[in-house]
Amino acid sequence: MGKTNPERDHNLPLLLGVMGDPIIQSKSPTMHTAALQASGLRGSYLPFHVKRGDLRQAILGIRALGFRGVNVTVPHKVEVMDYIDEIDEGARYIGAVNTIVNDGGLLKGYNTDGMGYIRSLKDEVVPDLAGRKVLVIGAGGAARGIIYALLQEQPGQVIVANRTESTAQKLAAEWAHLGNIKGCGLEQIESHLPGIDVLINTTSVGMYPRTAEMPIAPDYIPEGIVVSDLIYNPLQTELLRQAKQRGCTVHNGVGMFVYQGAYAFEYWTGQPAPIEAMKAAVLASLD
């Protein structure tokens, strides 16, 4: 799916990295180093602590130093769009870039977060999303990427439930042409749960260290559906623990992280990503 850089000297090692503030917590270097090794590719993937105000200079450095590409993480995913040459259609819709590919000095931005999540969801728990009724909790940056990718799968309906109802309704109106989507407030969620096939939490509620919290009351979780949580620290959130007790199939955020990285790896190298090696490296780093 990715393409190699026709102007890159293939005798040189690949230069790759990730930019963010903070960056020390990132598992991307561990994951991508494992991917390079498993693929037999010479190269390095390095973390770069880029502060607000320094992003433009850092992106210029990508060109000057001959980097093949970088990932971009918080807080730079939106601002970085101002400093690159081309933006993929999906990334433009979502309004954020997390992957940059350098083709002979031309920098193109992609967003692999949503597509990585959907690939993980389909591979692990729901092979076919067509016609499914999906409820997404949250309407922030992560939700936008996921909902955009989800709408490409022809679901029966997507309901976006958000603490601020107007944000959910605005998102639904913006993307109404892409599929059957509606927005509601979190306090209205109970009335939308009957008939739901997949429930997705895109918020940070339940993330370490506040692991006892849940985005919705446990009694609201329909029995036997698929429940997915973007969080992977802890691997089993309280939402997923309660969902399991209600006979649900559960899905955590490790797959999304691995697959968003896999798409980036494929864009940079033109080779299939070694998914299992990447996942094993991430899980080992979480122990």
Q: What is the pLDDT at residue 11? A: 75
pLDDT bin (cut points 50, 70, 90) of residue 113 is: very high
State whether 159 and 217 are in the same domain. Answer: yes
pTM metric for this prediction: 0.89
Domain extent, residue 155, equals: 115-252
3-state helix vs strand vs coil in the chain, percent to 5: 40, 20, 40
Catalytic residue among 3, 51, 77, 182: 77
pLDDT bin (cut points 50, 70, 90) of residue 9 is: low
Between 117-121, 172-176, 208-212, 268-272, the lowest mean confidence (pLDDT) is in 208-212
Is 244 catalytic? The answer is no
Cβ partners under 8 Å of residue 270, min gap 6: 2, 3, 4
pLDDT, tens digit (0-9, with 9 covering 90-100), for 40-55? 999 999 999 999 999 9
State whether 95 and 147 are in the same domain. Answer: no
Strands (E), the chain: 14-20, 43-49, 69-72, 86-87, 99-103, 106-110, 133-137, 157-162, 181-185, 198-201, 226-229, 249-251
State whether 248 and 260 are in the same domain. Answer: no
Residue 6 lies in a domain: no
State whether 156 and 75 are in the same domain. Answer: no
Residue 9 lies in a domain: no
Instruction: Look at the chain and report how many structural domains it folds into.
Output: 2
CATH number of the domain where residue 245 is located: 3.40.50.720
Three-state SS string across 253-269, please?
Answer: CHHHHHHHHHHHHHHHH
> Is 156 marked as a binding-site residue?
no
Q: What is the pLDDT at residue 2? A: 46
State whether 275 and 163 are in the same domain. Answer: no
- Distance from C-alpha of 132 to C-alpha of 134, rounded to nearest angstrom: 6
Mean pLDDT of 226-244: 96
Q: Which residues partner with 249 through β-bridges?
A: 226
Using DSSP, state whether 159 is helix, strand or coil.
Answer: strand
Residue 1 lies in a domain: no
State whether 86 and 121 are in the same domain. Answer: no
State whether 38 and 159 are in the same domain. Answer: no
- In this predicted structure, the answer to whether residue 86 has a pLDDT above a threshold of 80 is yes
Q: What is the pLDDT at residue 10? A: 67
- Map tokens 């940059």 to a residue: 100
pLDDT bin (cut points 50, 70, 90) of residue 6 is: very low
> Is 253 marked as a binding-site residue?
yes
> Is 27 marked as a binding-site residue?
yes
